[in-house]
Structure 1
Amino acid sequence: MFASNAVHRVATGTMPPPPVTPLATRLARLVLAALTVVVLVFAWYEAEMNPAQLVRDAGNMATLGADFLRPDFTYWDLYFDSMLETLAIAIWGTLLAVIAGIPLGVMSADNVVPGWVAFGVRRVMDACRAINELVFALIFIAAVGLGPFAGVLALFIHTTGVVAKLFSEAVEAIDPAPVEGIRGTGGTWLQEIIFGVLPQVLPLWISYALYRFESNVRSATVLGIVGGGGIGMIFNDTMRSFQYSQASAILIVVIITVSLLDMLSQRIRKRYI
C-alpha cells in the first residue's frame, strides 16, 4: 500500500520538495570555502612553492640520483656500529618515557584523578609534545655535549609527552564497573588503579610503547644530524662532503633496520597482545 502510494506520488509529480538549506548555512559554507582558498594561497607563497625549479635543477637531481643508485658499503662495519648506537638511543629514550608516562598518563585522566590535577599534568605534557625532538637535542647538546646521551634525553622528554597522552586516553576509555566495584569494597585509590584500571589498559599501553619505539628509531636517526649521536651523524658528514654513494648505503641500512623492527613489532602484537 505504502509502495503504491509512493509510486503514485512520483507519477503524478506530487513528491515533496527537497529540504531547503537555510541561507545562513549556505553563507557559512561559502565563507569556509573562501577561507580555505585564501589559506592555501597564503601557504603557497609562504612556502615558496616553485615547481619550475624542479625542471631547472633536473640535471643536479639526475646526478644525485645516479650516485644514490650506486651505494658504497666500504665502511659497512662503521654503519653497523652506528646503527646499533641509534637503536640504543631509541631503546633508552622510549623506556624512560614509558616509565615516566605511566604515572603521568594516569594523572592526566580526569576519570581517576581530580580535574585540576589532570588539567595541570596535561599542560605540562602538552609542552613536552609541542617542542620537537630536534629542539630538545640542541638544548641537551649545549648542556651535556655532543653524543648519544643528548639524543636519549631529547627522545625521553618528547616521547614522555606523547605516551602520557596516549596512556591517559586509554584510561579515560575504560569500563568504570571494575573500578567502582573495588571502590565499593573499600579499596584504596592505588588498588583501584592496579586492579581496576591496569588490566584493562595494559595491552593497549604495550602496543603504544612498541609503536613509539619504532618511531623513535627513525627520530634517533635524525637527531644524529644535529649531533645527537648514532648513524645520523655519519649520514650528515657524508652528505656535506658530497659522498652520496655512502649516504645511499647508510639509508639502506636504516630502511632495513626499520623494516625488520616493524615486522618484529607486528609479530609481537599478533602473538602476545
Structure 2
Amino acid sequence: MSHALRHAVNCSILFTELPLLERPAAAREAGFGAVEFWWPFAEAVPGDASVEGFVAAIRDAGVQLVGLNFFAGDMPAGDRGLVSSPKRSGEFRDNVDVTVGIGEQLGCRAFNALYGNREDGVAAREQDELAVENLALAARAAGRIDATVLVEPVSGAERYPLRTAADVLGVIDQVQVQNLGLLADLYHLAVNGDDVDRVIAEHTDRIAHVQIADAPGRNEPGTGSLPLDAQLAALEANGYGGWVSLEYKPATSTNDSFSWLPRSRRGLAPS
C-alpha cells in the first residue's frame, strides 16, 4: 500500500465466525491495534451487564475502539438507522447516552448515526427535519467527550436517501452543531455512482472517518476493481490523518482476507 494511514477492523462484519466478544482479541491476534463495531446489542438500551461485558472484551484484548454505531434497528431485517424515523426516534434518543457512555469508557471518539430508510405515510421533509433535530442532539451529547457524530451514504438499501457525499454534506450543513463529519465509505460511494476522486479532492476536510471494501462484491481490497490504494494515498496527501476501517466481507476466511495488508501496517503506528 502506498499510504501510511492506520487501519482498523470492523468486528461486526469480520471475524463473524467467532462470538462477538471474542472478536477484539482475534483482531489483536491478527496484528490490529484498533477495532470498530456496529451497534453490538439487540436493543437500544441493553442491560448494564451486557455493556460491561462488551467494554471488558475491548479492554482485555488491548485494542482501541475507534468507531461505534448508534443503535440502527434490525439491520439483517433491512433497518438502516432510526435518526429520521418518527415512530422510532425515541429509541434513538434513548440510545445516545448509552453509546456515548461506552465511547467515554473506551476512548472512542467517533459514532456513526445511520440516517434511516424512507417510511410510507410520512413526508420526506418531516423525516429530514426530525433527522436534523436528532443529529444535533447526538452531536451535542458526543461533544461532551470531544467526539464526532458520523453520517454515512449507504448502498444496497433502496429506501435509504443518503447515497452520495453531497447528500450527507447537505444534511450536516443544516445541523447547527460543529462536531459532525462525513463517513466516507469508499465502497458505498463507488457503488452508488458518486465521483469518489472528486469527493476526496473537494471534501477531504469534511471527512471524519473512512471505510473500505472492494467492488463488485464488497470483499477485501484486490478482489474487485476499485482504485482504493490511490484513493487512500490522495486522502492522505490532502491531509486526512484519521482511521481507515476494513468493512468488508471476507471472500474466504477472515484471516486469509488480510493477506493484502502487511502485519507492519496493521498496528497503532502513528500516521
TM-score class normalised by the smaller sequence = under 0.3
Q: Which has the higher contact order (CA 8 A, sep 6+)?
A: 1
Of Structure 1 and Structure 2, which has the larger fraction of its residues in strand? 2
Of Structure 1 and Structure 2, which has the larger fraction of its residues in helix? 1
Q: TM-score, normalised by structure 1?
A: 0.22
